Structure 1
Amino acid sequence: MNQISNITLQSRLSSLGRRALLSLITTATLVGLAQAQDAYPNRAIRLIVPFVPGGVTDTSGRLIADALSRRIRQQVIVENKPGASGNIGTVMVKNADPDGYTMLLGFDGTLIINPHVFPNMPFDTIKDFAPIGEIGDAATILVANPKLPVKTLMDVINLSKTTPNGLAFGTSGVGGDPHIAGERLNIVTGSKLVHVPYKGGGQALIDVEGGVIPLVYTAVAGAYQHIQSGSIKPIAVSTAKRVPSLPDVPTFIESGVPDFVVSSWVGLLMPANTPPAIVNYMNKALNDVLVDQDVAAKLEKLGIIPTVTTPAEFAKAIKDGLAQNGEIVKAANIKLE
């Protein structure tokens, strides 16, 4: 091989080496970019609220969405998808890709009561969702017209038993937590409370103020201002502990009904088959914002007691609640007309 040929060969080998090196660098860069793109979350997350804007559930969802956006440094966008007592928005999440970018603001009325009162449910609460964690328990309360001759829960129970046709209690509708609570009280105490469903808790509160009905079972958040003004009389809350915003109002348990806890919870869920790593990531982010004093205080003003849970604990609570409510709905023969 002559000198010119040798130089040419070396040049070609050198060129091939540079190309190989450039190829390795390019490959490494692309792999790095792909890994960066795969980091979760790398874009906005939708939070489906299956109710109209403005209610306590919607307000709590927006509060959590805002706090999570700051925590995970990605926007959590609230989308209201109301209809069929929450079923429509819930089905949207069921059918979404399990990639971590669609969440459900889950409400116990939709997830653990609807399956027992709707004849044809479009989702399976246990199979179709991956629970992330509970946000908190929305306290519920039994209130009375100020002129009703009762002071305690036992007074209400006893008066109902001696009143012809029982005592009417209003709620926001058939099959909701307040309705379930009233029927459960009948089952465990023998009280004679007669359900009067309304198309919303607001009108029920107006009617109890005006003496149209003697009792209303409703969310603390909705009743709070009426209680403060003295236009209605608080009887008891059905949470495990007293509500911070109403520290002088006893629980049902304190009032003589053992183990009586009925409250509306809200929480976050994703579609089934969402990777556990994503579920755990969002659970940690949720729990981090729940222990923030500012977030906790805002939730408590809504009548929601912040609750820190693991995905497994939240899943168990859903399963247990589904079974318990099924028994009450069957015993009380609750049906949607």
Structure 2
Amino acid sequence: MKLRSIGILAAAFGILSAASVPAARAATWPDTSVRYIVPFSPGGVSDAVARLVASQLGTRLGQSVIVENKPGVSGLVGTRYVAHAKPDGYTIMGGTITTHAVNPLFIKATGYDPVKDFVPVSLVGTVSNVLVVRKDSRFNTVRQIIAEAKAHPDKLTYGTAGLGSSQHLSGELFQSISGTHLRQIMYKGGSQAMVDLLGGQIDMVFETIAAARPMIDAHSVKVLGVTSDHPVADLPGVKPLAELGLPGFVMQSWQGVFAPAGTPRAIVQKLSKEIGEIVAQPDVRTKLLRLGVQPDGRGMQAFGQFQKDEIRKWTGIVQAAGIKPH
């Protein structure tokens, strides 16, 4: 009996010791560099946001935060990599509406679950699009486009960076609210869509403000509306689409930080706190706004709820459009 009791106590001690290992690791984290995976190519908004946050985060943590780009297939390559990374706090990623809300609506074999395989850390900010047409377009208002689309279904074209992109989602929401049918023309990137818009090959593009800015400043395009629920400060006179014949229209992409599921809560809490404070800094807010990102900074729980609300919203819209994953 004594030997049995000793065995039971030893086993219990072993369990307690094993349970204390993650807590001990969390207490000393980080003791080496942290990898910040961006599932898109260098040069885009996601990459710029990651580098801005990483530089500040590294200073606060006392360790290097190294940005690594792992682009491919609408962000699947990098996102799948992080989903299966060791959950020790040394691998985090920049996630978007594409990677962490809508990819499963368009792609069957994503190789990850955007909710179950990740822990939301912080919502860095939201990104609005603008509806633009070329400067010599016959369209001067959103209502003119709606009228034309109703009179001639599937005639008007809009360019996108592919299924699940913010341009595509904006177009789907436009059709859902207006009861129209537009024809999507997919490109490998938003910049190619803008080239064809200027060349007269397509009728319109729902582009991010940052990407459209050079053409807006050069007066090469007309801005008919913004996809946020409020006017944008640096686009004077441009109203939300919700006020221009599309009631309830709100489409904002977003930039957030995620960690693999199972990452110690203490580490996630620290990351969330630090990133929230980074986003609140005036100089960081200014830089984000220049990128077309509206600073946010909400933490773990609020960001998690936001993500689930986004998934619910876009699931309804995509299914109503009859789109099925392939």
TM-score (norm 1): 0.85
2:104–2:325 contact (8 Å) kept in structure 1: no
**Alignment match, 1:259:** 248
Pick one of 86, 99, 124 that aligns with 1:135: 124
Whether 1:149 aligns to 2:138 is yes
1: CA distance between counterparts of 2:285 and 2:274? 14
Pick one of 58, 61, 64 that aligns with 2:50: 61
**184-193 or 225-234, which moves further after superposition?**
184-193
**Alignment match, 1:100:** 89
Residue-pair matches, total: 304
2: CA distance between counterparts of 1:141 and 1:294? 25
Q: CA offset at residue 138 of structure 1?
A: 1.4
**Alignment match, 1:15:** none
Give the SS at the match of 1:92. helix
Q: Structure 2 counterpart of 1:311, which letter? A: M
Whether 1:50 aligns to 2:30 is no
**Alignment match, 1:333:** 322
2: CA distance between counterparts of 1:96 and 1:181? 32
Give the SS at the match of 2:183. strand
**Alignment match, 2:163:** 174
Pick one of 125, 144, 148 that aligns with 2:114: 125
Q: CA offset at residue 184 of structure 1?
A: 1.6
Q: Structure 2 counterpart of 1:126, which letter? A: V
Deviations 1:136-170 (A, max 9, x none): 11111110122222222222212222246431111
Deviations 1:272-329 (A, max 9, x none): 1112211111111001111111111111111111112121111111111112212222
| 1:1-337 map, 5 Å | 38-163=27-152, 165-334=154-323
Q: Structure 2 counterpart of 1:133, which letter? A: S
Q: 1:36 to 1:60 in 2, by over 3 A?
A: closer
Q: 1:195 to 1:229 in 2, by over 3 A?
A: same
**Alignment match, 1:26:** none
2: CA distance between counterparts of 1:101 and 1:36? 11
Deviations 1:193-223 (A, max 9, x none): 2211111111111111121211111111110
From the CA coordinates, give the structure whose radius of gyration is larger. Answer: 1
Q: Structure 2 counterpart of 1:236, which letter? A: G
1: CA distance between counterparts of 2:84 and 2:197? 41
1: CA distance between counterparts of 2:262 and 2:26? 21
Deviations 1:170-204 (A, max 9, x none): 11112212112211211111133221111111111
Q: CA offset at residue 254 of structure 1?
A: 2.4
2:125–2:255 contact (8 Å) kept in structure 1: yes
Q: CA offset at residue 245 of structure 1?
A: 2.7
**267-276 or 69-78, which moves further after superposition?**
69-78
Give the SS at the match of 1:278. helix
1: CA distance between counterparts of 2:199 and 2:317? 31
Deviations 1:49-74 (A, max 9, x none): 11111111111111111121122222
Give the SS at the match of 1:253. helix
What residue ranges of structure 1 are gaps of 5+ in the alignment?
A: 1-33
Q: 1:37 to 1:156 in 2, by over 3 A?
A: closer
Give the SS at the match of 2:243. coil
2: CA distance between counterparts of 1:224 and 1:152? 19
1: CA distance between counterparts of 2:191 and 2:317? 25
2: CA distance between counterparts of 1:239 and 1:125? 24
2:26–2:266 contact (8 Å) kept in structure 1: no
Give the SS at the match of 1:305. strand
TM-score (norm 2): 0.88
1:243–1:303 contact (8 Å) kept in structure 2: no
Q: CA offset at residue 224 of structure 1?
A: 0.6
Q: 1:272 to 1:165 in 2, by over 3 A?
A: closer
Deviations 1:216-244 (A, max 9, x none): 11111110110111111111111122223
1:157–1:192 contact (8 Å) kept in structure 2: no
Q: Structure 1 counterpart of 2:313, which letter? A: Q
Q: CA offset at residue 36 of structure 1?
A: 10
Q: CA offset at residue 335 of structure 1?
A: 5.0
1: CA distance between counterparts of 2:101 and 2:35? 23
1:245–1:303 contact (8 Å) kept in structure 2: no
**Alignment match, 1:17:** none
